[in-house]
Structures are given as structure tokens and as C-alpha cells.
Amino acid sequence: MISPEFGTEFDLQPDINSGDNSTVDLAPDSTSTIQTLTVNGDNRHSRETDNSASTPSLSNPHTSTDASVVTTPADPAAPVSPPALCAECTKSLEGAGPENNIDAGSLREWEARAILQKLANAGYPFAQYYLADGYASGLFGKGKEDYNSAFPLFVLAAKHGHAESAYRTGLCYEFGWGCRKDPTKAVQFLRTAASKRHPGAMTRLGKACLSGDLGEKRYREGLKWMKLATESADAMYNAAPYHLGCLYETGYGEDIFKDEGYSAELFTQAAELGHPEANYRMGDAYEHGKLHCPRDPALSVHFYTGAAERGHAGAMMGLCAWYLIGAEPILEKDEEEACEWARRSAELGYVKAQYAVGYFTEMGIGCRRDILEANVWYVKAAEAGDERAQQRLNAIRAAASGEKPMEVGPPKAQALKKRRSGTKEENCMVM
């Protein structure tokens, strides 16, 4: 089993082969106040700090390095580090949005890219990463991703010891972004990033070793990486606690015994870091008393909200159910809010929500009664296999042909309360 050393620091030697005091012309034709970059030959080494959790974004605060000091002709006494220049580039790029002057935005983008390109050519890994991410995110291509330009820059930065770049290179090899798919090389770069405690790389490598989807079936190594990733999880890379929680929920292999209580702790950790599915699972647990959690409407609503705000369709329906019947004094009954959450979920393609919106609009619950709109939602749900939607369609058609009167009005209170009273979900009229 491969066990890389952790905490190893890499010397980030720029590829500058000139004398001790090299000068690089940054943007001679631009109006930028920064015209030249003087690199002190005694301070060419920069280091990628340990435990970095770099985000795939130009504004990532975790990509800072202890880099060479740069002086500008405008103020020779004021030291400016290359990372600071990158930060200025980021500000320029962020200011070049559609709401600003197009010409000014284009100029700022050109200047920022020129500075990053010069630093990248000089061998600075943080600049190579920022430039690569700009291409990969579409920032330099008017929204169009350019992995053909990004990939070689990720590779260069990775070879200089930049953990985030090694992780991104691994993903490129896994999915074939800017290169041919190569699972072996993907694992190689993921392992390089994981050895520097990159939580995203440790998570992906752990999953790969546990599932064997990249050709690396190593049970104990996978557990090791997943546990280390859980310890290092942050808001950007928050999946490891959730995945580890899933393993403890059911038990996995000879080293992971079923422990639902610990699973809930791990789900909570991931939820607090913003993981949508973990938030949903804890909302469901506190609603129904699962995973050794007590029934707690307040916590259920809290976690459902955390997931729903991040686009989780199932959590939106969880909130719909709570608003439909209320949970005094925590939550007042609000049929309009219930209908709105159901509609948001339905628009994401969630079949149960499509049926619910159809029912709400048919009966006028929380919205204006509209049989035609109800029919549209029922058709969508029925086409996805929802039997209740098909039954309602049959009822509407029968009523239209005069065969059988159609049910009109809101459902009985007893039916609405079934979800909270522990009755199985399929017995609830809407949920």
C-alpha cells in the first residue's frame, strides 16, 4: 500500500536562466502603471503551503505562496509579491463584467492576462494556476471553456508542486479535458496532490481506491484517504464527511462497522460545511427520527433549508411539506410558501414535486386554481412514471367527458397530516 509522506514542501524554482537580477517586460504597450518586473535572484523560491485547499477560482485565497518579492519602478521602496500582482489581476478581471464599460473591461482583462502570462512564463506556479483556471472557467474566452490552453498550464504548475493544479490535472486526465483520458495518470496526479493534504484530491483518491473506478482497488488505502480528507474538509471540498458517513450508515468491509450515530455526526459535519445532500439527509433524519436522531421540527427545517437553498429538489419538497401543515411555534402554516417550494422543485425535474404542483393548481392550494396548468404538470409527472399523476389525468378526462364529477377543493386535513404523523409517504395525498 502506498503511503505518501505528508507535510512535504516543494521548492518552487522559477524557470529563469538569466543572471541574478532578471527583468521581464510585463505590458509595454498597455497603460498599466506596472511596466517591468524585477525578480530578485536571491528570492526566486516560492513554496506551496501545506494543508492548502485551493478553490478552482481566480479569487481563491488558498493559493497564496511565500513567493519572490517584486519591485515596481513607480515605487522601488515598496515590495510587491507576485501573488499580490495576481490579486490585482483578479480584481481587474472581476471588474470586467457586462455591467461595466466593455472597452475598459477588455483592457483590464488584457492587462491582467498579460501579467499572469509573464509570471507563468517565468515559471511561477501560482501564476500558471491562475492563468490555467482563467482558461478552464471561460474567463478568457467570453464564457467558453478552453481546456486545450488550460491543461498544459495545470501540468506545469503541478510539476512545481502546486497542489490545486495537481488535483485539477488529475481531473483533466480522468475526464479527458484538454487531453486523452488516462486513469493511470489521473491517479498519479491525484496522489501527488493528496500527499500535500489537498482535501479534494484525498476525497477523489479515496473514492477511487474504494470503488476501483480508476483502476485502483485498494480498500484500506481508500479508507485512509477518506478519513484524512474528512479531517481536512472545508467549505469548498466538503464531500468527504458525507461519503464516510454513508459507509458508516450501512457498514463497509471488515474495517467499517455500522454506526448510525457516527454517521449522523459525519453528515452534520458535511452539512455545516455546505454539502447539499448531507443537509437533506439530516433534515430527513430529524423529521422522521432516523440515524438515532430525535424528531425535531426546528432542526429538520434548518437542514432542509440549507439543502434547498443550494438547489436540492428533495429538500425543497421537505420544506413544502412543513409549510403545508406548519410546525407551531417554529413554523407557521403557509400554503403559498408550500406551493412555491414545490414549484421550485418541480422546475428542477423532481417528479414528486411535479405531481404536487399539479395537485395544488388543480385544487387551488396556495395558488390560483387552474385545471389547464394542473394538466401540464400531471402530464410531466405521468411521463416520468408517477401513477398518482396518471390517476388524476384520468379523473380530469373523465370529468371533461361528463362521466364522473371531478374532485374540487383542498384535501382533507387528515390527509395533509399523514406525513408528519409517521404514515408512509406514499399514503400522503400530496407527498
Query: For residue 133, what are the CA distances in angstroms to 57, 85, 110, 121, 233?
Result: 7, 16, 15, 16, 22
Which has the closest alpha carbon to 220: 197, 252, 185? 252
Among 4-8, 266-270, 350-354, which stretch is predicted with the lowest mean pLDDT?
4-8
pTM: 0.74
| Cell triple for 127 | 501564476
Which of the four pLDDT bands, split at 50, 70 and 90, describes residue 81?
low
Specify whether the CB–CB gap between 259 and 268 falls below 8 A: no
pLDDT 10s digits, 233-278: 999 999 999 999 999 999 999 999 999 999 999 999 999 999 999 9
Calpha distance 160→131 (Å, rounded): 15
Over residues 33-52, the mean pLDDT reads 33
Residue 54, pLDDT > 50, answer no
pLDDT 10s digits, 219-232: 999 999 999 999 99
Specify whether the CB–CB gap between 123 and 15 falls below 8 A: yes
If one compares 428 and 337, the residue with the highest pLDDT of the two is 337
Which of the four pLDDT bands, split at 50, 70 and 90, describes residue 21?
very low
Query: For residue 349, what are the CA distances in angstroms to 301, 313, 345?
Result: 22, 8, 7
Amino acid letter, residue 369: R
Which has the closest alpha carbon to 186: 203, 164, 208? 208
Please tell me the predicted confidence (pLDDT) of residue 359: 97
For the chain, domain boundaries: 1-196, 346-431
| Cell triple for 19 | 543572471
Calpha distance 297→328 (Å, rounded): 9
Cβ atoms within 10 Å of 375's Cβ, excluding its own = 18
Please tell me the predicted confidence (pLDDT) of residue 347: 97
CA angle 359, 362, 364 (to 5 degrees): 100
Give the CA radius of gyration of the chain: 28
Q: Could you write out the DSSP letters of every residue in 120-166?
A: HHTT-HHHHHHHHHHHHTTTTTTT---HHHHHHHHHHHHHTT-HHHH
Please tell me the predicted confidence (pLDDT) of residue 98: 45
| Cell triple for 89 | 489581476
pLDDT 10s digits, 160-209: 999 999 999 999 999 999 999 999 999 999 999 999 999 999 999 999 99
